[in-house]
Amino acid sequence: MQKKQSKECAKCHHKTERILDFKDCAFTTDKLYFLNWRDACPKCGHDDFLSIGEQYMTNDPNEMIIPESIVFRWLENDKLEFTPQSDDIEFKFYKTTQIVSWIDRPETTDFKKSVLMTTLCLKLEDMVYYEEDKKDIEELVQALKRRKELLKSIGYLDTSTEELVTGFVGEF
Ligand SMILES: [Zn+2]
């Protein structure tokens, strides 16, 4: 999987692009992570940028799946993050069974388990909002019910999300 990074010089507005393998720029601590891209503008030498962004090289969601070898590195190391402070959203579009299998791995850290439990809560909120298949919603609710102890470890949920989840699984 590849990503295209692009930035625009704040002085001369020259646009620079580069295409990278996801494995080389996946985490915020990677030298090639888009927010760490600090090379001076090749045209005018200025080193302040109007914008720095990145996007996948495809629009097909099936091709935007993060390779599991990279997910495993993330699961086992609290210092690795895909996005500053919002990794819970990163996995919202993955299947419930997939997320649950990562939560249940013994190698997954407690912190990453709580991040993925938050993901399940956000996913439930989306599924209800978009009126998705009742069977799929029930599967997710059961997964949450079976892991109530982990639900308690979630640091923060929006009040509306917390109320919705409580309505489905009871107090936690
Ligand atoms: Zn420039």
Give tens-digit pLDDT for 49-90. 999 999 999 888 778 889 999 999 999 999 999 998 889 998
Distance from Cα 15 to the centre of ligand 1, integer Å: 8
- Are 35 and 108 contained in the same domain? no
Please say if the pLDDT value at position 162 is more than 90: yes
- Are 56 and 107 contained in the same domain? no
Expressed as residue numbers, the domain containing 147 is 66-172
- Are 101 and 163 contained in the same domain? yes
Distance from Cα 69 to the centre of ligand 1, integer Å: 38
- Are 10 and 80 contained in the same domain? no
- Are 87 and 129 contained in the same domain? yes
Distance from Cα 20 to the centre of ligand 1, integer Å: 22
Domain-terminating residue out of 20, 38, 61: 61
Mean pLDDT score of the chain, rounded to an integer? 94
- The CA-based angle 73-29-33, given to 5 degrees, is 105
Distance from Cα 83 to the centre of ligand 1, integer Å: 27
3-state class (DSSP) for residue 54? strand
Report the relative pairing of strands 15-21 and 49-56 from DSSP bridges.
unpaired
Distance from Cα 25 to the centre of ligand 1, integer Å: 24
- Are 124 and 95 contained in the same domain? yes
Q: By 3-state DSSP, what share of the chain in percent is helix, strand and coil, each rounded to 5?
A: 45, 15, 40
- Are 45 and 89 contained in the same domain? no
- Are 48 and 84 contained in the same domain? no
Q: Residues 6 or more apart from 100 whose CB is under 8 A from it?
A: 120, 143
Band (pLDDT 50/70/90 cuts) for residue 139 is very high
Number of domains in the chain: 2
Please say if the pLDDT value at position 1 is more than 90: no
Distance from Cα 22 to the centre of ligand 1, integer Å: 26
- Are 91 and 10 contained in the same domain? no
